[in-house]
Structure 1
Amino acid sequence: MRAVELFAGAGGLGIGVSRAGFSPAAIIEWNHYCCDTIRENQATGLKPLVDWPLTEGDVRNFDFRGIHGEIDLVSGGPPCQPFSLGGKHRGYLDDRDMFPQAIRAVRELQPKAFVFENVKGLTRASFASYLEYIRLRLTYPEMVERRSEEWEKHLARLERYHTQGKHDGLHYNLVMRLLNAANYGIPQRRERVFIVGFRADLGIEWAFPEETHSQDALLWSQWRTEEYWDIHKVSKRQRPEGGKGKIRGMSLNEKPPLESWRTVRDAISDLPDPETKPHAAAKFHNHRFQPGARSYPGHTGSPLDEPAKTLKAGDHGVPGGENMLLRPDGSVRYFTVRESARLQTFPDDFLFHGSWTETMRQLGNAVPVQLAAIIAGSVKAHLALANVTTAGMA
C-alpha cells in the first residue's frame, strides 16, 4: 500500500507508518534541520528511511498531481504551534496553520484513508468551532471555500450540507479522539488528538485500537507484588516512600487486566548516566550531558518511576520541567537526546542532526514511533480487508 507523508518532521509518524507496511510515494518537510536528520539516517542505510522519497520544501508549493497511481493513506502532523497550550493560541489566525494544506492533499489525492495528529490544545473550548470546521472540511474535502468567503460562512455552508443527509462525490467517514500515549505502552504521558478518516465508498467500520497499558497495573506491579522494583534491582531502602498508600487509596484488590504503564526507568535504565559516567555514555549516539537544568514551581521534571511528562519543543529553547529527569534524591538534569528518543520510541540507531536545542525541538514535535505504528497498522488491516471484500465481489 502507498502513502504520502506531510509535515514529516524528524520522521516519527513516517517510521511508524512504514513499519505498518505502507510504502511512501512522497515525504514532505520544510524544516532544513529535520530534512538533514532524515538524510543523515538515509546515508547510514537505516531502514525504512533509506528508501524515502524526501522533498524539502513548503507543502503549499507541492504539486500532488505529480504523484501517479492510487494512494492508500495520507498522514501527517500539521504544525501545531497555532493550537499548542504553550503557544500563542492564534489558531486559524496563525499563518502556521497547515490544516488547509492537509485538506488539499486529501482533496487532490483522494486517498482511501488519512491519519492526522495534533496537540491537545486543539480541543480547547476557544477552538471548538474551528475544530468542527476542520472535521467537516475533511469529511467533504471537495467543498472548498469561495473567493473571499470567511471561514465561519464556509462552516455554516458545510453544516447545512452535512445535515441534508444525502452526499454525493468524495467524502469521508472520520473519527477523532484524544489519546494518551502511555496507555499504549509509550513511556510518556503524551496526550494528542488523532483524526482518522476512511473514504465513504469503502464502507469500512473502524474504531481506535483498544488501550493496552494502565496506571493501575503499574501501581499493582510497584506496590502490590513489588515485581517492578525486583526487575530493576531496586532495594527496599531506595524505593520511594508512601507508595503503598497510593494503592490503598485506589482500592486495588485484584490484578488489573492490562499491562503496566512503562516508566522512565523502564526506558533508560540500561543507558549510562551521562553526568556521572560520561565516557561510557559517549558510546551511545546523541547521549551527552547537557548542563543548566533547574527545578522551579510547576517545572519539577519527570519522576524516574512514572511515565515521562510530555516532551515539548518550545519556540525559544527547551522547556525546563517537562524535559528533565527527576531523580529519587530530588536532583534534576536534562534528558539527553538519546533518552528523549527512547521516550519517543525511536530506534537506538536513529541519529539526530543539529544542536541539542534543535534536536530536542525535533523530538518534542514528533509522534511516538510505536504509537504511530499501532494506529497505522490498524488502518492498514482494515484497508486490506476492504480490498479482499471488494475483490471477492468483483
Structure 2
Amino acid sequence: MGAVGRTLRVLEICAGAGGQALGLERAGFGHERLIELDGNAAATLRYNRPHWNVTQGDVADPHVWNPGDYGEGIDLLAGGVPCPPFTTAGRQLGATDERDLFAWAVEQVSIIKPRALLLENVRGLSMRRFAGYRQHVLDRLRDFGYVAEWRLLQASDYGVPQLRPRFVLVAMSPQDFTRFHWPEPIGRPFTVGETLFPLMSANGWKGAEEWAEKANDIAPTIVGGSKKHGGADLGPTRAKRAWAEMGVDGLGVANHAPNPDDKFPVGPKLTCEMVARIQGWDDDEFQWTFTGKKTSTYRQIGNAFPPPVAKALGVAIAAALEGTAQSRKIGLDLKHDPIYAALREQGDFMTAAQIARKTGLALDGLEIDRRISLLKGDFEIIKDEHRTDPAYKLGSFKAFTGQEDHVRHEYFRENTSKIS
C-alpha cells in the first residue's frame, strides 16, 4: 500500500501526466478522482492506472465535474495548478491571467472540506510581487478553519538530479497541522552522468563513459513549455548553456540513444526517456509509461511534479493526518504582506503614515506607494488623493474564484487547443 497503514483518499486537480499522482500513490494515498485538461496527459494516466477515475476537461467547468459531490471523506485535495501566471519567464500577471486557478482551487476547500490541501507551483509565486496574493490565500484558508504554510522546496533535496525549485502550499486543521513536518532533505542526488549513463550507453555508444564523467552536475530545471511555443527543447538560452557545459545538446529531443560511432559538436540530445529519468521517474519505484507523440510526451514529462518530491510530501501529510508524527508549535498569524493585511483589517482608507504605524514598518510614503503598486497587480486599490496625504483602500480580488461571468470562460472557449 505504501508508507502509511491505510489508504487515505485524495482528489487531484490539474493532475498532468501523473508525477504528483504517482508520488502520492507511493505514499499510501488512493485516488478518488483525477481531473486533467490535456487529452494526452489524461490518456497517460488511464494507460498506467486503468482503475483510476480520470476526467478530462477544464477543472473549473461545472459541466466537467462537481466539487460538491465530494463534500465528505476526502483526506487530501491536491494539484499542480497552471504555472504561467507566476513564472518569471512570463509576464507574471497573477490574478489577472485567465489561466490562473490557484485562487479557485483554494475556494474549493470550503466546498470539499478535505482534511489537507497540497498545491504546488513555480518559484515565481514566492516573490515579493505576489506577497499580497499569498496573504490572501492564507487569510481565506484561515476563514475556512485551516492553518496553511508555504515552503520553497528544491527537488534535488529529494533525490531528483535537477535544479527544480517548487513553491508548495500545505494546509490542514490546526490540530492536524501541529503534526505536520516539512520533509527533510535526503542528501546529494546523482549527477546527470550517473543518472543517464545506462540509457546513454544503451546502443553501445563508445563515448558514453567520457560523456558521463563530463556530465558531473545536476541538471538545470526541465522546462516542458506550452502548446503555444514550438517543439520540445531543454529550455531558455541560459539552461541550454548549462546543458552544453555537461555535453548535452539542448536544441531539441532525440528519438533514440546514440549509436556506437556517433560524434557530436556539443554532445548528444536527450531522449524523452532520459528527460523522465531527470524528472525522477525510474525503473524501480517510479515506473511510468507516457503515451502520445514525442513533443506531447516531452511536455507531459517537463511540466510534471517530480514523483519523489510528491512522495516525500505525501508521507509527511499522511503522518500528520494519521497522528504518527510528533506534535509541534505552529504560528497562526503568518504575515507574507503586512501592508495587505493592514488594509484588509482596516477595511477603509489608510494614509501611508497610518499604514506604517499599523504594520510597524519603517517605510516612507514612496516605498509604501511602491509596495501598493505591487498589490494592484492582483487587487483593486482605491486611492483617495483629495487629502493632504494620499490614502489607500483595499478593493476586490481580481482572480477567478468561480465567477460565472469571469473573462476566463471566454478565453478558454476560444483557446482550448492552445492551453496547457
Question: What root-mean-square deviation, in Å, do the aligned CA atoms of Structure 1 and Structure 2 show?
Answer: 2.7
What is residue 308 of structure 1 aligned with on the other side?
219
Structure 1 match to 2:116? 113
Native 8 Å contact 1:74 1:114 kept in 2: yes
237, 247, 259: which is aligned to 1:327? 247
* TM-score (norm. length: structure 2): 0.62
Q: C-alpha displacement at 1:335, in angstroms? A: 1.9
- In 2, Cα distance between equivalents of 1:112 and 1:388: 18
Q: Distance in 2 between matches of 1:347 and 1:27?
A: 22
2:150 corresponds to: 176
Does 2:275 align with 1:340? yes
- Say whether 1:51 aligns with 2:51: yes
> Aligned equivalents of 2:96 and 2:218: distance in 1?
35
8 Å CA contact 1:74, 1:115 repeated in 2: yes
1:135, 1:359 → 2: CA distance?
35
2:89 to 74, 86, 100: 86
* Partner Cα separation in structure 2 for residue 200 and residue 386 of structure 1: 16
Name the residue aligned to 1:4.
11
Does residue 190 (structure 1) correspond to residue 164 (structure 2)? The answer is: yes
Distance 1:175 1:388, change over 3 A: closer
Identity %: 32
Distance 2:325 2:218 in 1: 39
Conserved in 2, the CA contact under 8 Å of 1:175 and 1:197? yes
1:98 aligns with 2:101: yes
Q: Structure 1 pair 196/388, CA: closer, same or farther in 2 (3 Å)?
A: closer
Residue 139 of structure 2 aligns with which residue? 136
Displacement of 1:185: 1.4
Q: Which moved more, 1:172-181 or 1:202-211?
A: 202-211
Residues 50 and 135 of structure 1, relative CA distance in 2, 3 Å threshold? same
Letter of the 1:55 partner, please give it.
T
State the Cα deviation string for residues 67-97 of structure 1 (Å, max 9, x = none): 3641111111110111112222211110100
| Aligned residue identity for 2:190 | R
| Partners of 2:123 and 2:152 within 8 A in 1 | yes
Structure 2: which amino acid aligns with 1:50?
A: P
Residue of structure 2 equivalent to 1:373: 311
Partners of 2:106 and 2:147 in 1: CA distance? 14
Quickly say closer, same or farther: Cα 1:306–1:111, change in 2 above 3 A. Answer: same
Q: Give the C-alpha shift of residue 20 in structure 1.
A: 0.5
5 Å matches for 1:352-391? 352-385=290-323
Q: Is the CA contact 1:59–1:101 (under 8 Å) kept in the aligned structure 2?
A: no
CA contact (8 A) 1:204 1:386 kept: no
1:68 and 1:106 map into 2 onto residues whose CA distance is 9
Aligned to 1:63: 66
1:26 pairs, out of 33, 38, 55, with 33
User: Distance in 2 between the 1:273 and 1:88 partners?
Assistant: 41
Residue 336 of structure 1 and its aligned partner are, at CA, apart by: 1.1
How far apart in 2 are the matches of 1:138 and 1:187?
A: 34
> Which deviations, in whole Å up to 9, do the C-alpha atoms of 1:174-224 show, x marking residues without a partner?
1111111112211111111011111235463322112221xxxxxxxxxxx
Q: Does 1:263 align with 2:191?
A: yes
- SS of the aligned residue for 1:179 comes to strand
Contact 2:157 2:185 in 1 (8 A): yes
Unpaired runs of 5+ residues, structure 1, are 42-48, 141-169, 214-259, 279-302, 390-394
Structure 1's 79 and 337: CA in aligned 2 closer, same or farther, altered over 3 A?
A: same
SS at match of 1:310: coil
Q: Indicate the SS of the match to 2:81.
A: coil
Offset at 1:132?
Answer: 1.9
Is structure 2 residue 47 aligned with structure 1 residue 40? yes
Cα shift at 1:106: 1.3
1: distance between equivalents of 2:137 and 2:96?
Answer: 14
The 1:273/1:320 distance shift into structure 2, 3 A limit, reads farther
Which amino acid letter does the alignment assign opposite residue 223 of structure 2? K
Q: Which amino acid aligns with 2:160?
A: I
Instruction: Give the C-alpha shift of residue 51 in structure 1.
Output: 2.4
Is 1:182–1:262's contact at 8 Å kept on the other side of the alignment? no
Q: Mark the CA change 1:274 to 1:355 in structure 2 (over 3 Å): closer, same or farther.
A: farther
Answer whether contact 1:186 1:345 (CA < 8 A) is retained.
Answer: yes
- Would the alpha carbon gap of residues 387 and 110 (structure 1) be closer, same or farther in structure 2, given more than 3 Å must change? farther
Name the residue aligned to 1:225: none
TM-superposed CA distance for 1:29, in Å, is: 0.5
Distance in 1, matches of 2:292 and 2:189, equals: 32
Q: Structure 1 counterpart of 2:180, which letter?
A: W
Cα distance 1:202–1:386, how it changes in 2: closer, same or farther (>3 A)? Answer: farther
C-alpha deviation, 1:40, in angstroms: 2.6
State how far apart, in whole Å, the 2-side matches of 1:385 and 1:189 are. 33
Superposed counterparts of 1:132-171, under 5 Å: 132-140=135-143, 170-171=144-145
Tell me the secondary structure at the aligned position of residue 333 of structure 1.
coil
- Quick one: distance in 2 between partners of 1:320 and 1:203? 39
Q: 1:13 aligns with which of 9, 15, 20?
A: 20
Q: Which runs of 4+ in 1 moved over 6 A?
A: 386-389
Deviations 1:333-388 (A, max 9, x none): 33211011111112445222223222221122111101100111111012111799
CA 1:6/1:31 → structure 2, altered by over 3 Å: closer, same or farther?
A: same
**Superposition deviation, residue 276 in structure 1:** 7.2
Cα deviation, residue 264, structure 1: 0.8
